[in-house]
Chain A
Amino acid sequence: MGIKWDKFFITGDPLILGSQIAILLTMIGIVALVTYLKKWKWLWREWFTTVDHKRIGIMYILMGVLMFFRGGVDGLLMKAQTATADGKLLDAQHYNEVFTTHGVIMILFMAMPLLIGIMNVIIPLQIGARDVAFPQLNALSFWLTFSGAMLFNISFVIGGSPDAGWTAYFPLAGKEFTPGIGNNFYAVAIQIAGIGTLMTGINFIVTVLKMRVKGMTLMKMPMFTWTSFITSIIIVASFPILTVALALMTFDRIFGTHFFTLGGGGLDMMWVNLFWLWGHPEVYIVVLPAFGMFSEVISTFSRKMLFGYKSMVFSIVGIAFLSMLVWVHHFFTMGAGPAVNSIFSITTMMIAIPTGVKIFNWLFTMRKGRIQFTTAMLWALAFVPCFIIGGTTGVMLAMGAADYQYHNSLFLVAHFHYVLIPGVVFAVFAGLYYWWPKMFGHMLNEKLGKLHFWFFVIGFNMTFLPMFFLGLDGAVRRSYTYSAETGFGPLMLVSAIGAGILAIGFGFLCYNIYWSARYADRNISSDPWDARTLEWATASPAPFYNFAKLPEVKSLDAFWYMKKNNDGLELRENEIKEIHMPSNSGLPIIMAIVFGIAGFFLIFEWKIAALVAALGIIAGLIVRSFDYNDGFHVPVDEIKATEKAWRKVDKEVKDHVS
């Protein structure tokens, strides 16, 4: 099969050798620790085989935080390299690999898992469901995403990292110009994770359409549910394009076809076209759920109903529609002619309209509200001005003619970081601080949270604001070095220091998670923020069946009115009935492992081995189709005991705030 063992492990770079040793030791350490604590059975039973949407969500979030760390280290390496003129830390090849993996990991393995994780935990609770529509498929989605992420991450110690940018433009990404196997990792690992994401999209569309509790019409859904629903629709519309594009890339690289090559009738720009046909909707896939989180947080902490609910819904539907019509603005410089570029300039600028509507809605929600400056609310407040900077520069970039000047400069890099970090990362942080008690039964420390906030926001602005000016002065992206004569040095240094401050902020988050897990007060109310939506109408953390008695929705912000009218919060003994829940299954994780192995063989172009492993995937599908286990019933006594534990004497939702 022509295995090139000498190319298997990456050798010769002290940084990578260090990482290889560190990874090996960490793996041995984890296995030893779990064995020592005798936790393997517990892990398998409670986590690896779980189909509970809350646990799957928590695993997504854990993965997202880990990947944030990995992608963040990549970012810091880039900043350290360009902090001074003619930096010597990384060579050109290593720098190429680092900015490629930074981009892929931050978008696909950090932003998406964190958002999908929070969606998983919260959406079924918000719509009063007991789980998602297809719980086992949900587990498979997670494990495939995880499998893809791990496959992508091992690339830098085994086989070599992809190095053609996160966009992997042809012809550079083709076999002709990138002969190693690094880019095979890109083609295959993202494919596996993408299948998982596509299934998540289908799952959540069905969940939201079919499993809403009695009385919750579409226009009474919480805003986060709305945005996640629309996001799922965009996922189902756009991810198949990525699937096809990556499959064609795989054929080109591994089987010698000519879809995107220079010779043989290939069309290299077709890759760019297909990539952004997926890639631009992808931006809205990550930013829409984040908008939903801000809506929940702002409305809760302004103690007001969300302003302009209907216009909010119409603008997200509008954004979803327009998101499919703007992709060419990523490659105006292809020079597709005045007609094409003008049309796509206009559609791009049009997106600013519904987005602006949303910004004003948030501002009017806060107007005359009694704002509480919790950490979650601080993130939402910082989001508005930072995101407006990102949005305004986006409109500048949308002008086709002017884009020739900004294209591939640091101005562009600053723009999309100003959109994605406030738009997604701030939202995820706000969501984590807000929903942490719902997931774990304790809050994150507010003091540490505020340190996290200030370091992160100041560091973020310090890192990326100088990049606008550097870009206008002509500094290009993806360039590993620059000479002192360019005069970029001082601003680059400011930017690098900012990145350090940002990293300290992230450190505070990690410490906060650790500190709160150990010392935070467990005796808190199940509704610590005095919130408005249904996820707070049950215990924190929610029991595995979510609701002992399904609530009935009569208005928007259902839980708020249930509290106000003291209606439907009590649980009478005779109301408790058996609850039907899905059984755990080991099949998803096994299938994901088989997917990972088949993918690994394909990456190394061991085609027959990959084919054999792929038979395992089909075997998994067959096993699943003969699976007649349709779950189990939770007995009434167990529900009674669980509910008694948190409802206390008055049998109402626990209401005190410690």
Chain B
Amino acid sequence: MTQVFGFVLSLVLTFAALFVALKTSLSFNAIIWIIGTLAVIQAALQLFMFMHLKDGEDSKAQTINILYGIFIAVVTVAGSIWVMSFGM
């Protein structure tokens, strides 16, 4: 049941992104922000609905792993950009 729900929700999110990108006349920046946000939401959704983040005995460890991975990626990428652009 959750799979069907997740599938439908994923479809909705994908088409929403498609609609924003093709059928609206928002500025480039706004489009990028909106479809980026939709992508992140969908990625999180899929982790819960299809990739069994919350199932099994290791759910706690898996959640910590994902969060820590995101933390490292954000620090490395966003941190580098921020530092190398001299804090602008």
- Quick check: which of A332-340, A372-380, A390-398, A490-498 contacts chain B, the rest being far away? A332-340
Q: Which residue of B lies closest to A237 (CB)?
A: B72
Q: Which residues of B contact A338 (CB under 8 A)?
A: 87
B75 touches A270 (CB 8 A): no
Which residues from 39 to 87 on chain B have a C-beta closer than 8 Å to any C-beta of chain A?
A: 61, 68, 71-72, 75-76, 79-80, 82-84, 86-87
Chain B: CB-nearest residue to A281? B72
**Complex-state Cα separation, A340 to B86, whole angstroms:** 7
Contact call A336/B83, Cβ cutoff below 8 A: yes
CB of A324 closer than 8 Å to a CB of B: yes
> Is A328's CB within 8 Å of the partner chain B?
yes
Q: Quick one: which of B80, B82, B87 contacts A277, CB cutoff 8 A? A: B80
Tell me the bound Cα distance from A273 to B83 in angstroms.
Answer: 8
The secondary structure that dominates the A interface is: helix
Q: Is the pair A339, B87 in contact by a Cβ cutoff of 8 Å?
A: yes
Nearest chain B CB to A383's CB is how many angstroms away?
Answer: 30
Contact A270 B87 (CB under 8 A): no
Give Cα A338–Cα B80 distance, bound, in whole angstroms: 16
Least Cβ–Cβ distance between A480 and chain B, in angstroms: 32
User: Do B72 and A324 have beta carbons less than 8 Å apart?
Assistant: yes
With A241-B76, A277-B80, A324-B75 already in contact, the answer to whether A336 and B68 are too (CB < 8 A) is: no
Q: Are A270 and B80 in contact (CB under 8 A)?
A: yes
Contact at A328–B80, with CB atoms within 8 Å?
A: no
Chain B residue numbers with a CB within 8 Å of A337 are: 86-88
- Which residues of the other chain, B, contact A273 by a CB distance below 8 angstroms? 80, 83-84
The interface residues of chain B lying within 8 Å CB-to-CB of A335 are 86
The interface on chain B, measured as residues whose beta carbon lies within 8 A of the other chain's beta carbons, has a size of 14
User: Which residues of chain A in 294-353 are interfacial with respect to chain B, using CB atoms and an 8 Å cutoff?
Assistant: 324-325, 327-328, 335-340
Q: Within 8 Å of chain B (Cβ to Cβ): is A269? A: yes
Q: How far is B86's CA from A335's CA once the two chains are assembled, in angstroms? A: 8
**Does residue A621 face the partner (Cβ distance < 8 Å to B)?**
no
A237-B68, A277-B80 known; A209+B87 contact, CB < 8 A: no
Known contacts A237-B68, A325-B75: A274-B80 contact under CB 8 Å: yes
Minimum C-beta distance from A272 to chain B (A): 10
Report Cα–Cα, A325/B76, bound state, in Å: 9
Whether A209 contacts B75 by the Cβ 8 Å rule is no
Q: Which residues of B contact A328 (CB under 8 A)?
A: 83
Q: Report B11-40 residues with CB < 8 Å from chain A CB.
A: none
Q: Which of B71, B72, B76, B87 contacts A340 (CB 8 A)?
A: B87
A327 CA / B87 CA spacing, docked (Å): 15
A267 within 8 A of B: yes
Q: A241–B73 Cα gap in the complex (Å)?
A: 10
| B75 engages A340 (CB within 8 Å) | no
Instruction: Report the Cα distance A277→B79, complex, angstroms.
Output: 9
Closest chain B CB from A271 CB (angstroms): 11
User: What 0/1 readout, one digit per residue, does chain A (541-565) give for beta carbons within 8 Å of chain B?
Assistant: 0000000000000000000000000
A517 to chain B, nearest CB (A): 43
Interface residues of B: mostly helix, strand, loop or mixed?
helix
From A209, A277, A336, B61 is in contact (CB under 8 Å) with A209
Query: Once the chains bind, are A336 and B76 in contact (CB under 8 Å)?
Result: no
The CB with the most chain A CB atoms within 10 A, among B68, B84, B88, is that of B84
**B10 CB → nearest A CB, Å:** 29
Q: Which residues of A contact B75 (CB under 8 A)?
A: 324-325
- Cβ contacts under 8 Å, B82 to chain A: 340
Among A269, A270, A274, A277, the most chain B Cβ lie within 10 Å of the Cβ of: A277
Cβ 8 A contact of A270, one of B76, B84, B88: B84
Q: How far is the CA of A600 from the CA of B86 in the complex (A)?
A: 38
Q: When each residue 233-250 of chain A gets 1 if its CB lies under 8 Å from chain B and 0 otherwise, what string results?
A: 100010001000000000
**Neighbouring A residues of B71 by C-beta, 8 Å:** 324
Distance of A135 from chain B, by nearest CB (Å): 23
Bound CA span A336–B75, Å: 17
Cα distance, A209 to B79, chains bound together (Å): 30
The CA-CA distance from A297 to B87 in the complex, in Å, is 45
| Cβ distance B71 to chain A, nearest Cβ, rounded Å | 8
Which B residues are CB-close (under 8 A) to A209? 61
Partner pick for A269 among B68, B79, B84, CB 8 A cutoff: B84
Which residues A260-287 have CB closer than 8 A to chain B? 267, 269-270, 273-274, 277
Docked-complex contact B86 and A336, CB < 8 angstroms = yes
Determine the chain A residues whose CB is within 8 A of the CB of B76 once the complex forms.
241, 277
Q: Which residue of B lies closest to A338 (CB)?
A: B87
Tell me which residues across on chain B come within 8 A of A325, comparing CB atoms: 75, 79
Q: Which residues of A contact B68 (CB under 8 A)?
A: 233, 237
Q: How many Å lie between the Cα of A233 and that of B75 in the bound state?
A: 16
State how many angstroms separate the Cβ of A598 from the closest Cβ of chain B. Answer: 28
Residues 220-235 of A at the B interface (beta carbon under 8 Å): 233
CB–CB B72/A336 < 8 A: no
Complex CA gap A234/B75 in Å reads 14
What CA separation (Å) do A339 and B79 show in the bound complex? Answer: 13
CB distance from B65 to the nearest CB of A (A): 10
Contact B83 A340 (CB under 8 A): yes
Least Cβ distance of A280 to chain B in Å? 11
State how many angstroms separate the Cβ of B84 from the closest Cβ of chain A.
Answer: 6
Query: How distant is the Cα of A254 from the Cα of B42 in the complex, in angstroms?
Result: 41
Residue of B nearest to A276 (CB): B83
| Identity of the chain A residue whose Cβ is nearest the Cβ of B82 in the assembled complex | A340
Q: Which residue on chain B has the smallest CB distance to residue A341? A: B87
A399 to B50, CA, bound (A): 48
7 A-B contact pairs sorted by A residue (CB < 8 Å): A269-B84, A270-B80, A324-B71, A325-B75, A325-B79, A328-B83, A336-B83
Tell me the B residues contacting A by CB distance below 8 Å: 61, 68, 71-72, 75-76, 79-80, 82-84, 86-88
Which A residues lie at the B interface, using CB under 8 A? 209, 233, 237, 241, 267, 269-270, 273-274, 277, 324-325, 327-328, 335-340
Taking A270-B80, A336-B86 as given, write out 16 further A-B residue pairs in contact, using a Cβ cutoff of 8 Å, ordered by the A residue number. Answer: A237-B68, A237-B72, A270-B84, A273-B80, A273-B83, A273-B84, A277-B76, A277-B79, A324-B71, A324-B75, A327-B79, A335-B86, A336-B83, A337-B88, A340-B82, A340-B86
The 7 A-B residue pairs with the shortest CB-CB distance, nearest first, are A337-B87, A340-B87, A339-B87, A336-B86, A237-B72, A337-B86, A324-B75
